[in-house]
Amino acid sequence: MATKKIPKKYQPKGFEILHEDLDIIVGNKAPGILTVAAKWERENTVHNLLNQFVRKGNPRSNKCVYVIHRLDQATSGVLVFAKSEKAQQFIKDNWKDNVKTYYAIVHGVMKKKSGVIQSYLSEDEDYVVHSSSDSSEGKLAITEYEVLKETDKFSLLKINLLTGKKNQIRVHLSEEGHPIVGDPKYGQGNTSYKNLCLHSAELELTHPHSKTRLKFKAAVPACSVSLSLTGFVSDTLTT
């Protein structure tokens, strides 16, 4: 029996589905779309669009997807949702064992070509995240990075996200004096570039049912900085 085709209007715009099975949906989030609802936007989110997708246009359906993690609105890349609370809980319980790889293009040439940035992060009433060396002032955040390629103005970094706090990568790199290109929030006043050059490129996790290790890769969107840098990432992801 053929599977009923899902109407085009319920296909999630801004979220290219990379993998779907009975337990999870994995996709490549486009920059600019929210992961979950915010005060200023409740409808055009990946979470809401995927709920419509799994309901196949049936308003009586109670099917839904369950949030596991989030990407900032301006950040693109791999994002995974669960199809049941059981699958959601398994992945959350084992989140520290997942490998989360990001690529970022930052301003300037970094003196240290690799390293670990560690601090305690907290969010103020204006939703701005601040960094401190005092453990009483926030939650521990650890970002490991490696410079892969440089020009005279920019550096391409590969990032291993060892913790997953809100705005972590953006805050840590800005604190180092090398904000991410296109970051209006932590970019130290430089807003001449349209898109945030931060991409969740790879996610390796344990499947909640089969318990096998799976790796998902997401294509890099165009960046307004340097074709040589974004092209390098694209070539890396296809090998």
Beta strands in the chain (DSSP E): 15-20, 24-29, 66-67, 76-82, 99-107, 114-123, 129-132, 139-150, 154-161, 198-206, 213-217
pLDDT digits (tens, 9 = 90+) for 36-52: 988 877 789 999 999 99
CB 65 within 8 A of CB 84: no
Using alpha carbons, select from 79, 77, 55, 59 the residue that is nearest to residue 68: 79
CB 217 within 8 A of CB 199: no
pLDDT digits (tens, 9 = 90+) for 43-81: 899 999 999 999 887 778 889 999 999 999 999 999 999
CB 90 within 8 A of CB 205: no
Q: What is the pTM of this model?
A: 0.87
Using alpha carbons, select from 97, 101, 83 the residue that is nearest to residue 211: 97
pLDDT digits (tens, 9 = 90+) for 84-140: 999 999 999 999 999 999 999 999 999 999 999 999 999 998 889 999 999 999 999
- Annotated catalytic residues are 72
pLDDT digits (tens, 9 = 90+) for 168-199: 999 999 999 999 998 989 986 656 777 889 99
